[in-house]
Chains A and B, each alone.
Chain A
């Protein structure tokens, strides 16, 4: 069995004065896994993504990501952890006045990569997400599907150890959703670890070999990997 990249044990989380979102929840994700986090709206998918990405604190338990105990991570050093992950948002979170390549290069600029390396990496990603021709187009002129591809490009450009996607197909039609998942599957085949939070129960069926983690009654229940042949991508 591969080493777990995410190890969550006895997780407790609630927002101030509210009900528990997670009560004694445990799960683990191995390196190279493609995990779907399924749950209805308000079940805690986004909260779990935020906990793993260090945006949200938790009330109890242990969360180890790539060997790092997130509880012991100093707030001033949280950015060093975030540089190891790539996040894809439902609402894309792009800077609309910047071009496609500028948006994709943003994490590299923030991390202090050299201009040459930025150019090489951005071009590689543009080829990967098939947006080479639109690299100089401002994001506000792109369709929703294209914007999500830019968002995915931005999440992978710095070669993260883990990609977190929060409802990445939530704003897309089926055709674009399949395109996004196809891209994720390609990353998965290359050994990338992915966690995709979604309420759409059809999505895991479109990806071969994906694991499913269901948020059920404040706990996390693992459902086995989708079988070969179920993928329709």
Chain B
């Protein structure tokens, strides 16, 4: 069947011009969906930026007992190296500690802090592995065990603080994800409701077309054309918004002072945006069919009042 596109498009345009705000609101909601989805899809990188590197790390310091022999100290180091809790290890000798303390003392305006630097005990500087943040209680127990070793004077561990910080950042991340999903749900619902409202307004005319012999396809044409026009406007708008927001994602990176790249590449954005386009387009067309059927079923039950 030959489709009178000129007539269909003119009817859709007339309807849009009659209620421009409803149409604009629908396009805006669809744009927000098209904008948010690629961010969520590439969100692994972006959301990682919400967690600074120090929240992913924990450190510990073991100060030696002044009376501990070299052999005892090596034994402790071996225990640490054989465990899964450590990532890097640095032994700081007493002389180096003495120098650091002396520099510290000078900065406080004192000539010398210690009489004999050679009596200064050294310490172990440990960067703990990620397992420590995943199982903070076990890691802490390991630290406590080390503390009870005769060669060890004391253990200073940041496990509890780091795991707590990590937990909070995880919560913030989850909160953002839930918020994004909720936002997407609200936007999709709004697109559906606004589409249905505009379709329902058109039903009186479609009812007349039906009486004049319009085929099921013809009856749907105007509704589908409108749905397609929403996508055609929303997608480029969302793409522009994505490219514009790219620079702000970079600011996020600077804010936390991370080395990892928070900003998504143009290719990633374009790719996820195209995937979003297909998903959103299919979704809007399915919704359009659903909205059409609902409005149509309602419209054939009612006797339209045919006034100006």
Contacts and interface: CB of A to CB of B under 8 A. Distances in A.
A114 B305 CA distance: 32
A79 B208 contact: no
Contacts of A87: 211-212
Contact of B213 (A82, A95, A96, A97): A82
B244 interface: no
A93 B210 CA distance: 12
A9 interface: no
Interface in A53-78: 53, 55, 76
Q: For B4, B212, B305, B308, which residue has the most chain A Cβ atoms within 10 angstroms?
A: B212
B248 to A, nearest CB: 45
A150 to B, nearest CB: 13
B3 to A, nearest CB: 8
Interface residues of A, number: 24
Interface stretch (A102-110, A121-129, A181-189): A102-110
A154 B213 CA distance: 12
Interface in B161-181: none
Interface in B223-280: none
B205 A55 contact: no
B214 A110 contact: yes
Nearest to B205: A95
A227 interface: no
B306 A79 contact: no
Contact of B4 (A95, A109, A140): A109
Given A109-B7, A112-B1, A82 B308 contact: no
A89 B214 CA distance: 17
B198 to A, nearest CB: 16
A66 B211 CA distance: 18
Contacts of A96: 308
A154 B1 CA distance: 21
Nearest to A86: B212
A79 to B, nearest CB: 5
Q: For A79, A80, A107, which residue has the most chain B Cβ atoms within 10 angstroms?
A: A79
B212 A106 contact: yes
B2 A112 contact: yes
Contact of A112 (B4, B209, B305, B308): B4
A140 B306 CA distance: 12
B118 interface: no
A54 to B, nearest CB: 10
B218 interface: yes
A79 B216 CA distance: 8
B215 interface: yes
A194 B201 CA distance: 33
Nearest to B7: A109
B211 A76 contact: no
Nearest to A87: B211
A208 interface: no
Given A82-B213, A106-B208, 8 more contacts: A53-B211, A79-B213, A79-B214, A82-B211, A87-B212, A95-B205, A96-B308, A107-B212
29 contacts: A53-B211, A76-B216, A79-B210, A79-B213, A79-B214, A79-B215, A80-B213, A82-B210, A83-B213, A87-B212, A89-B306, A91-B305, A91-B306, A92-B306, A93-B208, A93-B211, A93-B306, A95-B208, A97-B14, A106-B209, A107-B212, A110-B209, A110-B212, A110-B218, A111-B213, A112-B1, A114-B2, A140-B308, A154-B212
Interface of B: 1-4, 7, 14, 205, 208-216, 218, 305-308
Interface of A: 53, 55, 76, 79-80, 82-83, 87, 89, 91-93, 95-97, 106-107, 109-112, 114, 140, 154
Closest CB pairs A-B (n = 7): A83-B213, A91-B306, A82-B213, A112-B2, A107-B212, A110-B214, A109-B4
